[in-house]
Amino acid sequence: MRRYKVAIVGATGLVGQEFIKVLEQRSFPMESISLLASDRSAGKRMFVAHREIEVKETVPASFEGIDIALFSAGAETSRYFSPIAAQSGAVVIDNSAAFRMEPTVPLVVPEVNSEDIQWHKGIIANPNCSTIQMVVALYPLHKVNPIKRVIVDTYQSVSGTGSAAVEELTTQAKQVVNGQSTTPHVYPHQIAFNILPEIDVFLDNGYTKEEWKMIEETRKIMHADDIAISASCVRVPVFIGHSEAVHVEFSQSMSPDEARSILAQAPGVKVLDDPVISLYPQSWSAAGTDEVFVGRIRRDASHPRGLVMWIVADNIRKGAALNAVQIAEEMIKRDWIHPRGRKNEKIRTIADSHGNPL
């Protein structure tokens, strides 16, 4: 079996550390691993499969000889280094929002659209965490009974913002309990014992960018441009695990039992749904697991063809690291690692080596 030279850009971050865990747990066929971060972490040492490895600063030469580069170091870093990595011959799987809506970049959730991997040109985008868990649950239902409209309200954990936000919630929670005042750094307001209806920047239309990502990315992944979608994305004082209340309008009426039985067979989904014993998905128990959990499935009292459900997943695993590693596994299994036409044509990346759009 062939083994691959893997690089993780952002290895010291929350997602980067989860990448290491997921690669180890799934026995990913690695020949070597390069741990890359900014100059701040250069020289730091981390363990991969009981071997101590030095973290290096990410520079253009970091990608020479690399087969697969897993990026999770923010959009700016991806915009600059991903085209360089792709030109060096690596396939980039990028966790940032930098390339997700580019028409030449596949945006992939393996349970939904793994076929899209085959037309990559050196960069594959990993969707936003809230979008991933929603489409894993909605797509199996959509295949049976096309979805017309989705209204989703999210309850997103602070780990979605990175390690600084996890620290901020920890610090503020202690301060509030001790009767001290708090000073927000990561978020515009205190997050401990509070709820913020603001994730990413506000757009001119009143939505936030996170909400707009859910709308656009869902349509691209499901190849369903005509689904009407509205989202409200909310940050809650939870460490790990995003939860979503999702209202779905189908083409035909669907009973909760039918939805439960479709979802019980769906890849990557686990149904937890028994009100009698208060069984439903919770962020606390979803943390550290791979599945997308669905429960509270019921008829929408406001629409004859509507269902309501509660969808929860670990945003660092299925919402980021696990989904990206699953893309890499699928690419290897289907022998789609070489971009189409790479032998005959120069790879058309969407930015030059300085990250400027072409």
Ligand X SMILES: NC(=O)c1ccc[n+]([C@@H]2O[C@H](COP(=O)([O-])OP(=O)(O)OC[C@H]3O[C@@H](n4cnc5c(N)ncnc54)[C@H](OP(=O)(O)O)[C@@H]3O)[C@@H](O)[C@H]2O)c1
How far is Cα 347 from Cα 94, in angstroms, rounded to an integer? 17
Count of residues in contact with ligand X, rule CB under 6 A: 30
Give catalytic status of residue 233 as yes or no. no
The residue annotated as part of the active site, out of 120, 129, 142, 233, is 129
Task: Choose which of 7, 16, 86, 254 interacts with ligand X (CB under 6 A).
Answer: 16
DSSP codes of every residue in 159-218:
GGG-HHHHHHHHHHHHHHHTT-----SSSSS--TT--B---SPBPTTS-BHHHHHHHHHH
Least separation, in Å, of the C-beta of 85 and ligand X? 12
Asked if 83 is part of the footprint of ligand X (rule: CB under 6 A), the reply reads no
Task: Please report where in the chains the tokens 């757009």 appear, as a residue.
Answer: 203
Work out how close the CB of 98 gets to ligand X at its nearest, in angstroms, rounded to a whole number. Answer: 8
Residue 291-330 contact track with ligand X, rule CB under 6 A, x = bound:
------------------------xx--xx----------
- The distance of closest approach from Cβ of residue 181 to ligand X in the complex, given in angstroms and rounded to an integer, is 25
Closest residue to ligand X, based on beta-carbon distance: 13
Under the criterion CB under 6 A, does residue 95 sit at the interface with ligand X? yes
Active site residue 242: yes
By C-beta, is 7 or 294 nearer to ligand X? Answer: 7
Separation CA 340–CA 320 (nearest Å): 25
CA-based end-to-end distance of the chain: 38
Relative to beta strand 242-250, strand 269-271 is unpaired
Q: In a 10 Å sphere around its CB, with 0-12 CB exposed, 13-18 middle and 19+ buried, how is residue 61 labelled?
A: exposed
Q: State the minimum distance, in angstroms, from the CB of residue 222 to ligand X.
A: 19
Q: Which of 40, 143, 189, 342 binds ligand X (CB under 6 A)?
A: 40
Quote the Cα angle for 10-12-15, to 5°: 65
CB of 13 vs ligand X, minimal distance in Å:
2
Q: State which H helix or E strand residue 262 sits in.
A: helix 256-265
The residue within the footprint of ligand X, chosen from 58, 133, 172, 190 (CB under 6 A), is 58
With respect to ligand X, which residue has the nearer C-beta, 98 or 254? 98
> Alpha-carbon torsion 9, 12, 17, 23, what sign?
positive
- 132-161 residues in contact with ligand X (CB under 6 A) are 159-160
Measure the CA angle with vertex 10, ends 5 and 14; round to 5°: 115
Q: Would strands 242-250 and 228-235 be described as parallel, antiparallel, or unpaired?
A: unpaired
Annotated active-site positions, please?
A: 129, 242
Residues that bind ligand X (CB under 6 A): 9-16, 37-38, 40-41, 58, 72-75, 77, 95-96, 129, 159-160, 162-164, 315-316, 319-320
